[in-house]
């Protein structure tokens, strides 16, 4: 069964979900925007018999502390630093990484910093290639090049209730997506002061794109086993981002699923089965 914990990291309470036997191989589950570790609620039971699962919430997300911007720099580098310290405090020496959305730039930073620890990578709509950026990113890159307060304010739409719901249901068949996930995310995003923190991260995302060549170099150099399981109807991170892994990892396993961005909402069983088969076939994971 899943249990729920908090660990003190640099003055923050980092909330995390834990499941499985600590003696089993570890999978670190890294969530995306605008969500938290609850996005793994249906995947964890599929994997917990064979793996030890840890799923943290980032600072400013879910049930982890959300310090004021004056006291905490909301950048992907800083969030990675917190998660790396969290990993060290838990004593995780080897782990596979499940990366989704924001979890990809965080997870690939971790992998670059500690390549000897990473046994495998599962990328579920976790992009590190320009080919994977959908059409909406052109406007975002214009904002990064020529930032104005007006453009910053326009990105409040990213965490409006209808936008969050759309991230869940767009690209899926009617009536397949439970309202529980997006309703909870809407509540998380509407907390007082959270808007400015999220706007900081949207602006800082440009540094993730700048790091794509470094992430790709990590793949070429270390050749980690990689499974890309991708909602092919995602308009944010399009299927070309999944296929692009083959450029640097010829042995990468690619699956395109008939769903959207939050693929676990509709295909948790299929993704869990793919993971079990993939990890079983990669000796490095054990």
pLDDT tens sequence across 122-168: 999 999 999 999 998 999 999 999 999 999 999 999 999 999 999 99
Instruction: Indicate if the pLDDT at residue 248 is higher than 80.
Output: yes
DSSP, res 139: H
Say if residues 17 and 62 touch (Cβ distance below 8 Å): no
Residues 229-242: pLDDT tens digits? 999 999 999 999 99
Q: Indicate the domain borders of the chain.
A: 3-135+208-285
Among candidate residues 38, 78, 113, 261, the one labeled active-site is 261
> 84 and 273 in contact (C-beta within 8 Å)?
no
What is the rounded CA–CA span in Å between residue 21 and residue 32?
25
Rounded to two decimals, the pTM is 0.97
Superfamily of domain 3-135+208-285: Alpha/Beta hydrolase fold, catalytic domain (3.40.50.1820)
**Residue-level pLDDT at 48:** 98
- For the segment 169-190, what is each residue's pLDDT rounded down to a tens digit? 999 999 999 999 999 999 999 9
Task: Output the average pLDDT for the chain.
Answer: 97
Residue range 218-246: mean pLDDT, rounded: 98
Please confirm, yes or no, whether 31 is among the known catalytic residues.
Answer: no
Contacts 24+ apart (CB under 8 A), 142-145: 143/203, 144/203, 144/206
Whether residue 283 has pLDDT greater than 80: no
Please report which confidence band the pLDDT of residue 282 belongs to, taking 50, 70 and 90 as the band edges. confident
């Amino acid at each position: 069964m899943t249990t729920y914990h908090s660990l003190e990291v640099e003055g923050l309470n980092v909330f995390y979900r834990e499941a499985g036997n600590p003696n089993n191989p570890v999978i670190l589950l890294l969530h995306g925007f605008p969500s938290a570790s609850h996005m793994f609620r249906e995947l964890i039971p599929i994997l917990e018999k064979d793996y030890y699962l840890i799923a943290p919430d980032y600072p400013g997300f879910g049930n982890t502390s959300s310090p004021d911007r004056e006291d905490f720099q909301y950048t992907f580098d800083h969030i990675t630093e917190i998660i790396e310290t969290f990993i060290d405090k838990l004593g995780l020496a080897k782990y596979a990484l499940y990366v989704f959305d924001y979890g990809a730039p965080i997870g690939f930073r971790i992998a670059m910093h500690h390549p000897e620890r990473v046994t495998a990578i599962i990328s579920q709509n976790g992009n590190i290639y320009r080919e994977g950026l959908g059409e909406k990113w052109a406007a975002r890159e214009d904002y990064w090049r020529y930032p104005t307060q007006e453009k910053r304010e326009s990105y409040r739409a990213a965490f409006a209730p209808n936008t969050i719901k759309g991230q869940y249901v767009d690209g899926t068949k009617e009536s397949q997506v439970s309202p529980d996930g997006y309703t909870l995310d809407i509540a998380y995003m509407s907390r007082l002061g959270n808007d400015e923190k999220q706007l900081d991260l949207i602006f800082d995302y440009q540094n993730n794109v700048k790091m794509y060549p470094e992430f790709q170099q990590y793949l070429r150099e270390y050749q980690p086993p990689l499974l890309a399981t991708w909602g092919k109807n995602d308009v944010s991170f399009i299927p070309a981002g999944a296929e692009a892994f083959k450029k640097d990892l010829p042995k990468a396993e690619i699956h395109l699923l008939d769903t959207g961005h939050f693929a676990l909402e509709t295909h948790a069983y299929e993704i869990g089965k793919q993971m079990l088969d993939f990890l079983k076939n990669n000796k490095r994971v054990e």
